[in-house]
């Protein structure tokens, strides 16, 4: 049987983490922010809530291509505030913002290198195969 997890962000509103824990949720992926200037307004609350009920946590960061991997990574690390969770850090790659496949690919790779350097864990990518094929050099 595959593990059961949920994805949460500010869109779910206030979450009763005790109720979530009672439903055998095995992990949670929580949006920390978007690009370099936005931190999800419920991230800290959700991050602490999941930890309090011992649900393994991973974060995802929404990439805005063309806005610099370092700036976006720094924003994510501000949100995490020294606690990188228990799971892999995910980069949500679903927007091209009229950037070239080369720019998008380079920023994904740079972000991954920063994640590995800081956490000693590989980054995962959240996307769709057709988006990756169309908007990165892997589709060339």
Please state the three-class secondary structure of 70-127 as a single string: HHHHHHHHHHHCCCCCCCCCEEECCCCCCCCHHHHHHHHHHHHHHHHHHHCCCCEEEC
- Convert the pLDDT of each residue in 29-83 to its tens digit: 999 999 999 999 999 999 999 999 999 999 999 999 999 999 999 999 999 999 9
In the predicted structure, residue 105 carries a pLDDT above the cut 90: yes
pLDDT at 48: 98
CATH fold of 5-139? TIM Barrel (3.20.20)
Domain ranges of the chain: 5-139
Quick one: angle between helices 101-119 and 69-80, nearest 10?
40
The answer to pTM > 0.85 is: yes
Q: Can you read off the two tokens belonging to residue 94? A: 């679903």
pLDDT for 138: 85
Please state at what angle helix 69-80 crosses helix 43-52, rounded to 10 degrees: 50
């Amino acid at each position: 049987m595959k593990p059961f997890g949920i994805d949460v962000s500010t869109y779910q509103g206030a979450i009763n983490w005790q109720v979530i824990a009672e439903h055998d949720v095995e992990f949670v992926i929580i949006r920390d922010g978007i690009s370099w200037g936005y931190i999800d307004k419920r991230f800290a609350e959700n991050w602490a809530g999941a930890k309090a009920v011992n649900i393994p946590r991973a974060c995802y960061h929404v990439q805005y291509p063309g806005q610099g991997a370092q700036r976006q990574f720094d924003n994510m690390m501000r949100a995490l505030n020294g606690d990188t969770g228990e799971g892999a850090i995910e980069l949500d790659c679903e927007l091209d913002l009229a950037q070239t496949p080369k720019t998008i690919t380079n920023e994904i790779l740079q972000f991954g290198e920063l994640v590995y350097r800081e956490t000693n864990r590989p980054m995962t990518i959240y996307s769709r195969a057709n988006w990756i094929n169309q908007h990165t050099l892997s589709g060339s």
